Amino acid sequence: MNKERLINSFIEMLKIHSPSKKEGEFAKHMVNSLESLGADIYLDEGYLQYGGDSPSIIAKIPGDIEGEGVTLAAHMDVIEPNLNVEPIIEGNIIKTNGTTTLGGDDKGGIASILEVIRTIKEEKISHKDIYVVLTPCEEIGMLGAKYFDWDKVPKYMMPAKNMIVVDNSGDAGIIAHSAPSKYDFEIRFKGRNAHAGIEPEKGINAIAMAAHTLTHMNTGRIDDLTTSNVSTIDSKFPSNVVPDICTMTGEVRSHSEEKILEILESYKNICDKTVEKFGGSYEINYKCDYPVLKPKDDLKFAKEFVRVYEEMGVDSELKVIGGGSDSNIFAEQGFNSIIIGVGMNKVHTVDEYLEIDELFKTTEAIIRYIKKDE
């Protein structure tokens, strides 16, 4: 592994602006880089359905050993503000000047993946097939993964089911294997208009209906694996009108879809009681944003990676996380994912930074895993 090359590659990628829906230039850079390493390329055109400019990329590095191999995955979009990022190296840290995000989420992961392949090629390491999956628009609802048309992928390009997603915050050694499903909900309250100064008693205040409902809803931390949040209450009327429409939106997350539906049903029951008290009516709608991520092999794959870290002397931890990622979407296609970190910290802020030593450790760990998987 060439540490200087890894850092230089990472810095080069940071300077290519790739916000969600505008990853096209960066995707071309990645296709060129992967083709130069002998990869076969397949481009998915799901972006045409949601107004992006970048395909999802599958790259295949054919192996010289029989077996399914492994898939390495990451996403190409970054969180704004990220235009004209100025990476600064201070000792073990790569950061910015404080006016932009760094983009280590997830270009740190992509830099690691590229260095893995370069090292394997350079050192002529025997291996099974290696697949790389790079998606756009992960940061705005995993759109690249959601709109991926797997039915069109040629059979010989279908990635291996064991997938290492290099997109976790924190140090090397943290291995996430489970993540919750998320449902988004909307409740629309319908009251009755009236003049607020002349005859307010003839009105039914929809904001009051929403407020009464919210005070009785179980939100926040519900249990160890379940959360709920109300994020907006929207109603726009002049002060002299009793508002007759108010919309509340939010989300429920849990590692049990049954639990999510149970909570949403409790919200419906609370709304029924609100209508009994105030009059008016309501409508509740909800949909699954992404499914649960759970290991499909009783943690066998995750524990194999734990052993790799431990052999390196790196403390390792199997972890259940509360956020979603492309892994949740890929799980529906049968992929068995673990999510590992490369030392990215304070992501999604202008204080974001990446620890170089952690980036090296994870890159080495992936190389060691591929060597062992013979």
> For residue 43, what are the CA distances in angstroms to 131, 186, 211, 318?
13, 35, 48, 33
* For residue 350, pLDDT beyond 90: yes
- Return the structure tokens found at 41: 């390329």
252: Cβ contacts below 8 Å, ≥ 6 apart: 182, 183, 185, 226, 227, 228, 260, 263, 264
Beta bridge partners of residue 108, listed in sequence order: none
The band of 372, judged by pLDDT with boundaries at 50, 70 and 90, is confident
pLDDT digits (tens, 9 = 90+) for 51-100: 999 999 999 999 999 999 999 999 999 999 999 999 999 999 999 999 99
Q: How many angstroms separate the Cα of 285 from the Cα of each of 218, 258, 266, 274, 288?
A: 18, 17, 13, 17, 11
pLDDT of residue 151: 97
Residue 82 near residue 16 (C-beta atoms within 8 A)? no
Q: What pLDDT is attached to residue 33? A: 98
Identify the pLDDT of residue 374: 59
Q: What is the pLDDT of residues 154-180, one digit of tens each?
A: 999 999 999 999 999 999 999 999 999
- Is 58 in a helix, a strand, or coil? strand
Tell me what pLDDT residue 201 has: 96
| CB 217, CB 267: distance < 8 Å | yes
Query: Which pTM was predicted?
Result: 0.92
DSSP state of 183: E
Q: What is the pLDDT of residues 242-251, one digit of tens each?
A: 999 999 999 9
pLDDT of residue 171: 93
- Taking all residues of the chain, what is their mean pLDDT, rounded to a whole number? 97
State pLDDT tens for residues 192-219: 999 999 999 999 999 999 999 999 999 9
Query: Under DSSP, is residue 340 helix (H, G, I), strand (E, B) or coil?
Result: strand
Rounded average pLDDT over 298-312: 96
Backbone phi and psi for residue 153, each to the nearest 5 degrees, phi listed first:
-75, 125
Q: Where are the beta strands (DSSP E) in 81-180?
A: 88-90, 93-95, 130-135, 162-169, 174-178
Average pLDDT over residues 253-267: 97
Rounded to 5 degrees, φ, ψ at 199 are -145, 60
Check residues 151 and 323 and name the one with the higher pLDDT.
151
